[in-house]
Amino acid sequence: MSTRAFVVVTGADGFIGQALVAHFGVTGRSFRAVVRRPGHAAPLPLRYTSVTDLATLSDAELDTLVAGTAAIVHLAGRAHVRDESAPDPDPLYRLANVVATERLAQAAVRAGVERFIYASSVKVNGEASLPGRAFRPDDPPAPHDAYARSKLDAEQALAAVCAGTATVPLVLRLPLVYGPGVKANFLTLIDEIARRRVLPLGAVHNRRSLLYVGNLVDAIDAALDASPAPAGVHFLADADAVSVPDLVRALAAAVGVDARLTSVPLPLLKLGGRVLGKSATIDRLTGSLEVDTASFRSATGWSPRHSRAEGLAATAAWWRTRHAL
C-alpha cells in the first residue's frame, strides 16, 4: 500500500490514536481521524470526524465513514477497566469491542478496503507467560476476563468477515504500551516513583515485554506498507523485555530521583496482596509476560527504532510538563 493512501483511524483521540495521527501528520500519510464525541459542540480539527457509536451506526453511515479508504486502523473500543464495577461487564465489552469491530469490518469489505489493522491485546493469551517461553501467535488463547474475551471474539469476528474477500485482516496483540500521554498503571507507577515511595519489588525476577508508542506507530506504518500484507495475528514489543525492578530503576533515573526498592520475599508479597485484595496487581508485578515478535519482523522488516531508554526519556519529559501545570 502506498504511503500516501488514505487511512481511517478510529479512536483517534485516545493515547495511541493521538500518537498515530500526529505521526501521520509528520510523515504525510493521508488519514481520517474518527472520534466518539456525541453532542460535542466544539469544532473538530481538519480531517477529524465525530461519530456516536460504531456499534450502532447505520450501514449507510459506516459506508460513508470508510468510503475511499485503502486501510483502517481500528483502535477504538472499551479498554481494560481496573476495579471493574459493572455487575456484568461482558455485554459492555462485547458491544464496544466485538459488535463495533464486526460491523466496521463488514463496511470495509463492502467498500473494498485493502487492509484492516486491529489493535488487540496480549491478554488474549493470558496474564502471564512461562519463564523463558514468550507468547507466539500460534499459542492457544487463554483470556482470563471479560476484556480479554471480547478482544479474542473481535479478532475472530474480523477474520470471519474478511474470509474470502479482498480485505486483509491484521491483528496486532499489544503488551503494555507507554509513552507521552500514558495512563492507568504505568502513570501510577511513575507517580509513585517520583514521590519516592518505597516499593517492595526488589526481590522480583521476571521479564515483561513493553512497547513504546513511537515503536508502535512505526510498526503500524510497516503493516500498512508491507507487500504482501502480513495477514493474521502478530505480537509487537520493544527490542528486549525488562524486569520490574529494572524498570523501576530506569523510570527513576528518567524522572531524576533515586529508586527506592526494598526486597520482600515473594511469598510474603503475594500474601500481602491477598490480604489487601490486590492479588491481581501483585501477580502482574511479579509474573513474566513476554511476547515473540518474530512473525511481524519477518513479514514486514520492522524492528524497534527507539530503545527503551529513549522511550522512557520521552515519557518522563511529558510527565514533567504535566506536573508543571
Among residues 102, 233, 88, the alpha carbon closest in space to that of 146 is found at: 88
Distance CA(147)–CA(135), nearest Å, equals 19
Residue 207, helix vs strand vs coil: coil
- Cell readout for 110 is 463492502
- Return d(Cα 50, Cα 32) in angstroms, integer: 10
| Extended strands (E) in 89-231 | 115-121, 168-174, 176-178, 210-212
Catalytic residue (one of 93, 118, 147, 212): 147
Alpha-carbon distances, residue 129 vs 185, 212, 238, 242, 291 (angstroms): 19, 20, 17, 14, 8
**In angstroms, rounded to a whole number, what is the distance separating the alpha carbons of residues 304 and 266?**
33
Long-range CB pairs of 181-190 (<8 Å, 24+ gap) are: 181/15, 181/18, 181/19, 181/213, 181/318, 182/15, 182/213, 182/315, 183/15, 184/82, 185/82, 185/284, 187/319, 189/247, 189/248, 189/251, 190/251, 190/255, 190/315, 190/316, 190/319
User: For residue 53, what are the contacts with CB-CB under 8 A and spacing of at least 6?
Assistant: 36, 38, 100
Q: Give CA–CA dist 220/193, Å, rounded.
A: 31
178 is known as an active-site residue: no
Q: Which residues pair with 232 in a beta bridge?
A: 170
Q: Which amino acid would we find at residue 18?
A: Q
Angstrom distance (rounded) from CA 13 to CA 181: 11
Q: What are the catalytic residues?
A: 147
